[in-house]
Amino acid sequence: MAASSSRLRSARPRSISENLNKLFALFESKDRVLITIDADPDAMASAIALKRLLWHKVQSVTVAHFNEIVRFDNATMVRLLKIPLVKLQKVDSKDFSKTLLVDGQPHHHEAFGHFNYDAVIDHHPITMTVDAPFVDIRPNYGATATMMTEYLRSAKIRPSKSLATALLYAIRVDTHNFELQALEEDVKAFRYLFPLANMNLLRKIEMSDMRVKDLKYFQQALESKRIIKGKIFSHLDQVHSADILVLVADFFMRCHEVGWTIVSGVYNKHLVVVIRNDGFRKNAGTWAIKAFGKLGSAGGHRAMARAEIPLTNLNNHLTKAEESNLGRFVVRQLKKSVES
């Protein structure tokens, strides 16, 4: 990892303008560009900002996501801001001459592993070497949207009201309203975007969280919770969306006696584990990688992390008790990672 980080730092130009010129140098007017994302506010906002940067520089830009957009704030964001997206499963990579990845890295999900990327722009921690002609990864930034705002400003492009709203919302979400890691650059981007955004649309997006029927998952979480040394563990079995695990984990973090919440469930034949903490204790991202990294994808930041493990990868790792209750497996793995 140290070698990877050093390599990336030495490869990055010294200024935003130099970096922007290096990015633009990748493209020709005849290029058909594909941007792949794991659709969440930061990824979507960053992708449409990148699409705006490439306007008039390439023949076409398509933004494709592999995940289902089921969280209501995300779906509302797409609908109200008219974000043009297609499903990644419905595109043919042969139709594109350039492929880009924003707000993610190739090893973050198996869906990204099928592509040879020309550019990777992200703010998540570096856990594996990223090989691409253009790589800009800044783990100290609170949001990829901040990076894209800097690119827009360097290109002297004033974002439209809808793009400014998307970028502003993305920065608020990924920094948890600046309660998590954030730089002065995140604050500067927020202040620049604020007067350009539509605050009425922003409030509507933020208020769209869940349906009444989703309350049943909170009941299940409360009934299944285990509290171990200031940590709440809860397993929800099958869920209609992995995002409900995030809502439950954030809900449990409201308890003042709790420093960690670990909420797991099964979605799309994957065991998904969402980890939250107060940011003062052990690094959640490192803990997730240590506990689950060898079984699937895992990673995150100091205060929040996530792991997604194909159920088929667990066949030889579960005890009989864990086969009927995967929550016990989650607890065991996390305990092992602390003790080792």
Q: What's the Cα-to-Cα distance from 215 to each of 69, 186, 244, rounded to whole Å?
A: 19, 34, 10
Q: Does domain 213-339 have CATH number 3.10.310.30?
A: yes
- 207 Cβ contact list (under 8 Å, min separation 6): none
Integer Cα distance of 44 and 30 in angstroms: 24
Q: In the prediction, which pLDDT does 326 show?
A: 93
Query: Scanning the structure block, which residue is given the tokens 């009425």?
Result: 200
Q: In the prediction, which pLDDT does 8 show?
A: 41
- 305 Cβ contact list (under 8 Å, min separation 6): 274, 275, 284, 285, 287, 288, 298, 299
Long-range pairs of 174-177 with CB within 8 A, sequence gap ≥ 24: 174/41, 174/42, 174/123, 174/142, 174/143, 174/144, 174/145, 175/142, 175/143
Q: What's the Cα-to-Cα distance from 217 to each of 23, 266, 277, rounded to whole Å?
A: 44, 13, 21
Candidate CATH numbers 3.90.1640.10, 3.40.50.300, 3.10.20.30, 3.40.640.10; the one for domain 2-207: 3.90.1640.10
Q: In the prediction, which pLDDT does 13 show?
A: 42
Return the H-helix or E-strand segment holding 231: strand 231-238
Domain boundaries, the chain: 2-207, 213-339
Helix axes 144-154, 161-174, angle to 10 degrees: 140
Q: Which of 55, 63, 71 is nearest to 102 (CA)?
A: 63
pLDDT in tens, 151-173: 999 999 999 999 999 999 999 99
Can you list the residues of the chain whose pLDDT is less than 50? 1-13
Q: In the prediction, which pLDDT does 27 show?
A: 97
